[in-house]
Chains A and B, each alone.
Chain A
Amino acid sequence: MSSTLSSRKLYTILLIACATGYFWIFYNYAYNPGYQEGVNTCIIKQVTSIPCPSCGTTRAVLTLFNLQLLESLYWNPIGLIIVGIMVFAPIWIAIDLILKKDSLYLFYGKIERFFRIRWVAIISIILILANWIWNIQKGL
């Protein structure tokens, strides 16, 4: 665990990320109901016109909130992880703040150490690359 990233800093980053995420999802839900390609924030896609590994996540999250699981997985499986973080992180942070504990911070440290194990890292990289290839093939 890095000592520079304090629990307060981590919670602030997570809350800002979740708030931005909810705002972004709400914006797309309200102004982009057909999941057309609206505002494009991806630098890689704008520069190279090739989608990045996490392109299509907005559409995946939107379809998942509409309970269309298969379509969500088609757009991008990363959407599932994002939805999990967006739903559980604020609740977990609230519980931590009320009980004055650091359980999410400790869990984050465990996750970091888990992904530093060699075979876990290799498998994750392969999965991300496979997802990237799939994204390019889908032409998101």
Chain B
Amino acid sequence: MEAQKVDMFIMTNAKYFESHQLPAIRDRLLEIDDSKWAIIQTLQFKDPTISLIVSLLGGQLGIDRFLIGDTGLGIGKLLTCGGLGIWAIVDWFLIMGATREKNVDKLRQVI
């Protein structure tokens, strides 16, 4: 794809991905065909800030994990009182990274 389009995509979506993954994403986007641009543009990514807010409010019930699609871990958190409260607190710090990983997975499925 054209460098201009790719850079525009990176600029508008940088906050959804881990910063160390951005160069690889950019290289991959430059390689792929122009026909995928429409699909890539319609992808909806999860906002890490939203998942952090949900984690702070409903992390004890595993709602943050359900939100980003980790249903199994969400059930685990729900049934164990947020992992005795410890896992819930640990996830306040992990959930933003986990959300970004999920977004990269979603993008990888297309490109």
Contacts and interface: CB of A to CB of B under 8 A. Distances in A.
A104 to B, nearest CB: 11
B60 A2 contact: no
Contacts of B105: 2-4
A42 B60 contact: yes
A93 B61 CA distance: 26
Given A20-B84, A43-B82, 7 more contacts: A3-B105, A13-B76, A43-B85, A43-B89, A52-B61, A53-B61, A112-B72
B21 interface: no
A128 interface: yes
Interface of B: 60-61, 69-73, 75-76, 78-86, 88-89, 98, 101-102, 105
A35 to B, nearest CB: 16
B75 A52 contact: no
Q: Is the interface of B mostly helix, strand, loop or mixed?
A: helix
Contacts of A108: 72
Which of A20, A21, A43, A115 counts the most chain B CB atoms within 10 A?
Answer: A43
Which of A17, A21, A41, A115 counts the most chain B CB atoms within 10 A?
Answer: A41
13 contacts: A17-B80, A20-B83, A41-B81, A41-B85, A42-B60, A43-B85, A43-B88, A52-B60, A53-B61, A54-B79, A57-B81, A82-B80, A115-B71
A81 B85 contact: no
Interface string A1-17: 01111000010010001
Contacts of A112: 71-72
A101 interface: no
Interface of A: 2-5, 10, 13, 17, 20-21, 24, 41-44, 52-55, 57, 78, 81-82, 108, 111-112, 115-116, 128
Contacts of A82: 79-80
Contacts of B88: 43
A10 B73 CA distance: 9
Which of A4, A24, A108, A111 counts the most chain B CB atoms within 10 A?
Answer: A4
Contacts of A4: 98, 101-102, 105
B79 A2 contact: no
A41 to B, nearest CB: 4
B78 to A, nearest CB: 7
Contact of A115 (B60, B75, B82, B102): B75
